[in-house]
Amino acid sequence: MNEKDKQIQEIINSLSKKLGQSPQTITENAKNGDIQKLLSNMDGKQAEKVKNILNDREKAEKLLSSPQAQALIKKLTGEK
């Protein structure tokens, strides 16, 4: 496992603890694009922030273009 993979796994593990979902569940929901399931266990304010970012095209593009997001997307889609 390379450094980026380790960082991604740490992010997933951190989300797992915060959301009370297994890392496998988080990964599967992300792969399937099921954002509602990911947000369902979040604090209401956190979920609202995520929804606002996803609903704001400029913010979403900025977030998704970050190196961390790109690495996570590649991992979730199986790209190398």
pLDDT in tens, 1-14: 788 778 788 888 88
Give me the pLDDT at residue 6, please.
82
As a three-state string, the secondary structure of 21-34 is: CCHHHHHHHHHHCC
- If one counts the domains in the chain, the total is 1
Domain that holds residue 35: 3-77
> Please, are residues 1 and 9 in contact by the beta-carbon 8 Å criterion?
yes
pLDDT in tens, 60-69: 888 888 888 8
pTM of the model: 0.59
pLDDT in tens, 22-53: 999 888 888 888 878 878 878 888 888 888 88
For residue 80, pLDDT over 70 is answered with no
